[in-house]
Amino acid sequence: MLQPASHKKFRSVRKPRRGLPLFVGLFLGLSVLTAAVVTGKSSLAPAAQAQEEAEPFGVPYRGEILPAVDMHLHPGSYKSLGPLGKAFILDALPEFLPDFLKELSLRASSSLLQNPYGAFIGIKNQCLKSGFRKCGLFAVHAPETWGVVGPETIQDWLEDKKNINPNTGELLYFGLTTVDMTDWEQHAEARLEKLERELRTPYFKGIKLAFIHNSIPLDDPQYDGIYEVAARTGAPVYHHVGSSPLRQLDDFGSDEERERYIRSYDPQGLERAIAAYPNVTFIMGHMGFDFNQEGFAFDEVVFELAHAYPNTVLEVSAFGGSIYDPDGRYKDNVFRRIKEEGLLPRTIYGSDGPGAPGGIGRYLNEVLPSIDRVGYTVEEARMLLNDNSTRIFRL
């Protein structure tokens, strides 16, 4: 049993809402689209743009071209966001712009940028230009925060005839479904039955959960039925662990409220379930990174869980972005530890990147130099980028 995490005494100092650059990028989407119309090309990162003419198709690393899977993409739109999500994005844009102009620009740009088949800067174009053979689309149900993009919407995109990677002839997208966690006691049975039906279709390869976005403690046992469904269907369960820029600890009025909120993203709260369901794969999304820099990083807990339980998988999305790690030292240390501590066979790649023009390729272009600096061989890079996700999600 891991030792309880020691929490610092809460501070009431407001930290600036640095936010994720992807949302500011939404505002720039219209200008990117204009540039694309004029030039006939998307404004992706140079290395990703170069993939357009690369043969064979894939991701370049140390002179080789590797297959790759980005398992962490969020389709949707500004309209589908919850009130906190919309407020966060609006607040990240320049204050001198009137709200109506912000909303108009966000609605227009997100309808392209976060659309799986959006023109020029849409998710499919970003995935293909970055060299990915397959990409995962996440369903989400967080009405107050990131909003709702339901499994039905994801399935419609997966069934679309455009869901083909022209470079491989295979389906480009696969899905991770989710559940509505609100009013669980009244609706658990019906929602679990629906979840199991979805997982028994060919479209959904796993379950995406984010207790934090619904302010539910990770150690709440009433949701164990989700893991029972996962055990029956063989579906891996993705958990967002680590803080979220939508809520900061000083948004809460008491230490008790802050303690409860921390329990929604402290991965130690998952240990009971991880131990109780050894046949279920638990994916630690974002490695427990503290996006708000409030002193509650849980990367050490994630490493401890991975060493203690072989059904724990690490996922490396978003934390290595330049806004959080400008000199690359943090991600270098994470990737070095993963390699040296023998955890690479249980580590998967994701970007969480389609919210900004070129975000999918940009994150890849930050990760590749990092793993090169810490000595990943071509075969080790292939494991991280492709083989592990292919095995875990049965692609």
Average pLDDT over all residues of the chain: 87
Report pLDDT digits (tens) over 317-369: 998 778 889 999 999 999 999 999 999 999 999 999 887 889 999 999 999 99
What residues contact residue 107 under an 8 Å CB cut-off, 6+ apart? 77, 78, 79
> What is the per-residue burial (b if ≥16 Cβ within 10 Å, else e) of 366-379?
bbbebbeebebeee
18 or 317, greater pLDDT = 317
Report pLDDT digits (tens) over 247-288: 999 999 999 999 999 999 999 999 999 999 999 999 999 999
Q: Is the pLDDT of residue 4 over 70?
A: no
Label residue 55 by pLDDT band (50, 70, 90): low
Q: What percent of the chain has pLDDT over 70?
A: 86
| pLDDT reported for residue 97 | 87
- At residue 141, φ and ψ (nearest 5 deg) are -135, 90
Report pLDDT digits (tens) over 118-164: 998 999 999 999 999 999 999 999 989 888 999 999 999 999 999 99
Q: In a 10 Å sphere around its CB, with 0-12 CB exposed, 13-18 middle and 19+ buried, how is residue 337 labelled? A: middle
| pLDDT reported for residue 27 | 43
Label residue 99 by pLDDT band (50, 70, 90): confident
Distance CA 93, CA 100 (A): 12
Q: Is the pLDDT of residue 24 over 80?
A: no
Pair of tokens at residue 392: 């875990």
Of 20-29, 34-43, 64-73, 261-270, the least confident: 34-43
Q: What is the DSSP string of 203-260?
A: SEEEEEE-GGGGT--TT-GGGHHHHHHHHHHT--EEEE-S-BTTB-GGGSSSHHHHHH
Sign of the CA dihedral 66, 69, 312, 315? positive
Rg (C-alpha) for the chain, rounded Å, is 20
Distance CA 140, CA 143 (A): 9
Q: In this structure, what DSSP letter does residue 70 have? A: E
In CATH terms, 21-392 corresponds, of 1.10.1760.20, 1.10.150.20, 3.40.190.10, 3.20.20.140, to 3.20.20.140
| Strand 282-285 to 312-315 pairing | parallel
**Domain ranges within the chain, ordered by starting residue:** 21-392
| pLDDT reported for residue 40 | 34
Label residue 215 by pLDDT band (50, 70, 90): very high
Quick check: helix, strand or coil at residue 313?
A: strand
- At residue 174, φ and ψ (nearest 5 deg) are -130, 165
Distance CA 357, CA 74 (A): 14
Chain centroid to CA 65: how far? Answer: 24
Q: How far is CA 52 from CA 58, 71, 276, 324, 361, in A?
A: 10, 21, 46, 29, 12
Please name which of 283, 298, 266 lies closest in space to residue 392, comparing C-alpha atoms: 283
Of 55-59, 162-166, 213-217, 325-329, the least confident: 55-59
Pair of tokens at residue 229: 């469904």
1 or 90, greater pLDDT = 90
Distance CA 15, CA 371 (A): 31
Pair of tokens at residue 359: 């975000």
